[in-house]
Amino acid sequence: MSAIILILQLILAVIMLPLYILYYLGIWGLVLKKIFPFFMAKLTVTYNKVMEEKKRNLFSNMSDFAGTSKELRLLEIGCGTGANFKFYPIGCRVTCLDINPNFQKFLNKSQAESDHLKFDNFLVASAENMTPVADASMDVVVCTLLTCSVPNTPGILKEVKRVLRPGGAFYFLEHVASTDESGWISFFQKVLNPTWKLIFDGCSIRRTTWKDLEDAKFSELNLRHIYAPTPMKLINPHIIGYAVK
Ligand SMILES: C[S@@+](CC[C@H](N)C(=O)[O-])C[C@H]1O[C@@H](n2cnc3c(N)ncnc32)[C@H](O)[C@@H]1O
pLDDT tens digit sequence for 139-178? 999 999 999 999 999 999 999 999 999 999 999 999 999 9
pLDDT tens digit sequence for 97-150? 999 999 999 999 999 999 999 999 999 999 999 999 999 999 999 999 999 999
pLDDT tens digit sequence for 201-218? 899 999 999 999 999 999
Please determine, for residue 70, whether its predicted confidence score (pLDDT) is greater than 90.
no
State residue 128 phi and psi, 5-degree precision: -85, -10
The CATH T-level fold of domain 2-244 is Rossmann fold (3.40.50)
Ligand 1 binding pocket, CB closer than 6 Å:
40, 44, 77-80, 83, 98-100, 103, 126-128, 144-146, 149-150
Mean pLDDT computed over every residue of the chain: 96
Banded model confidence at residue 81, pLDDT cuts 50, 70, 90: very high
The CA 147 to ligand 1 mean position distance, Å, reads 8
Q: Is 11 exposed, middle or buried (0-12, 13-18, 19+ CB in 10 A)?
A: exposed
Question: Tell me, what's the pLDDT at 173?
Answer: 98
Which residue minimizes the CA distance to atom 17 of ligand 1?
99
- CB 101, CB 128: distance < 8 Å: no
The CA 10 to ligand 1 mean position distance, Å, reads 28
Banded model confidence at residue 68, pLDDT cuts 50, 70, 90: confident
The CA 35 to ligand 1 mean position distance, Å, reads 13
Q: Could you count the other beta carbons within 10 Å of the beta carbon of residue 63? A: 15
- CB 55, CB 19: distance < 8 Å: no
User: Mutation test of ligand 1: which of 54, 75, 98, 175 has the most ligand atoms closer than 8 Å to its C-beta?
Assistant: 98
Question: Tell me, what's the pLDDT at 201?
Answer: 84
Banded model confidence at residue 197, pLDDT cuts 50, 70, 90: very high
Angstrom distance (rounded) from CA 174 to CA 189: 15
The CA 189 to ligand 1 mean position distance, Å, reads 20
Question: Tell me, what's the pLDDT at 67?
Answer: 79
Please determine, for residue 69, whether its predicted confidence score (pLDDT) is greater than 80.
no
What ranges do the domains of the chain cover?
A: 2-244
User: Mutation test of ligand 1: which of 146, 157, 160, 172 has the most ligand atoms closer than 8 Å to its C-beta?
Assistant: 146
